[in-house]
Amino acid sequence: MSFLFIVLTAFHSFALTIDVTPQEVVPGDVVLLRVKDASPSAQAMFLKKKLTLFSRADSNLIALVPIDVYTKPDIYELQVSDGNIKETVTIKVSPHEFRTTKLTVSEEKVTLSPESEKRVAREYQLQQKIWQKHTQPEWEGNFMKPLDSEISTEFGVKRIMNEKKTSVHRGADFRGKSGTPVKSINSGKVVLAEDLFYGGNTLIVDHGMGLYSVYMHLSKIDTSKGDTVSKGQVVGRVGMSGRTTGPHLHLSVKLNGVSVNPESLFKLKL
């Protein structure tokens, strides 16, 4: 994994060190920004959006940067400022071709009734309110997989359902038999645990810093809203509730309201 080191020297030997990893990504990835020797008032911007920097025990400031799946290949600037000190680093977004697959699901999950449309709209707004909250970091160290199994459908796959509706897969599907224990990918607080139209029995864990993990299609939820969970704790069981063609775990990761690839999060050295 590569790092970009930039040291700026100002009056009184003040130095600002910025680490960005990885420097080269594909749409949907997560980037770790680490700012060393900066004041708590330091600020960062990426794609005209302010990044919330959080203090670590080692006095470093960090932020997790989402690269939206629709980001066009290019070299983008990330700006960091601390008082009169300003610097720009770059992140290269490389081209990536996501595969296309066809699915056959229950027609009522594709062509919605008026009642289902209203329900989906309510659940969408409920989740949008959740993504807006940025709490202090709850996670500890690297993130882990929720299941020790292969991924059957990766992030970003274009899916054509019943030959008429196209969607982008904004998570990773893990293979698993019904009833298989599902583990929390890191420490956090449960902010939602209920049955949703598309996700079925769905669990959302707030890990802090605007980062959320979402566990869908569960046959059982083993925790409740408001509970604090630890990394590796069993929080549910694999199932096939909601819109699905068979038992599996759909894991989504939301960062600042953007769906990102869980596999890229697992690769970060935190």
Per-residue pLDDT of the chain (270 residues; tens, 9 = 90+): 444 444 433 333 356 789 999 999 999 999 999 998 888 899 999 999 999 899 887 778 999 999 999 999 999 999 999 988 988 999 999 999 999 988 777 777 778 899 999 999 999 999 999 999 988 899 989 999 999 999 999 999 998 887 776 788 999 999 999 999 999 999 999 999 999 999 999 999 999 999 999 999 999 999 999 999 999 999 999 999 998 889 999 999 999 999 999 999 999 998
Residue 218 confidence (pLDDT): 98
CATH superfamily of 100-267: Glucose Permease (Domain IIA) (2.70.70.10)
State the Cα–Cα distance between residues 25 and 251, nearest whole angstrom. Answer: 21
Residue that is written with structure tokens 């996700």 in the block: 199
**Could you write out the three-class secondary structure of 150-198?**
CEEECCCCEEEECCCEEEECCCEEEECCCCCEEECCCCEEEEEEEEECC
Residue 14 confidence (pLDDT): 53
State the Cα–Cα distance between residues 45 and 189, nearest whole angstrom. Answer: 27
State the Cα–Cα distance between residues 235 and 185, nearest whole angstrom. Answer: 10
Residue 163 confidence (pLDDT): 73
Which residues sit opposite 35 in a β-bridge?
A: 18, 61
> Taking the domains of the chain in order of start, what are their residue ranges?
6-93, 100-267
Are the C-beta atoms of residues 18 and 3 closer than 8 Å to each other? no
* CA-closest candidate to residue 172, choices 191, 195, 149, 189: 149
Residue 98 confidence (pLDDT): 93
**69 phi-psi bin (left φ>0, alpha ψ -120 to 50, beta other):** alpha
- 237 by DSSP, 3-state: which? strand
Does the fold of domain 100-267 match that of domain 6-93? no
Question: For the chain, what's the residue count?
Answer: 270
Q: Within a 10 A sphere around the Cβ of 16, how many other Cβ atoms?
A: 22
State the Cα–Cα distance between residues 212 and 30, nearest whole angstrom. Answer: 13
Report, in angstroms and rounded to the nearest whole number, the Rg of the chain calculated over CA atoms: 20
Residue 161 confidence (pLDDT): 81
Are the C-beta atoms of residues 80 and 16 closer than 8 Å to each other? yes
Residue 80 confidence (pLDDT): 94
What is the bridge-based pairing of β-strands 188-196 and 234-237? unpaired
Residue that is written with structure tokens 């990773």 in the block: 172
Element (H, E) at 116: helix 114-131
For the domain covering 6-93, report its CATH number: 2.60.40.1590
Non-local (6+) Cβ contacts of 157 within 8 A are: 98, 99, 100, 101, 168, 169
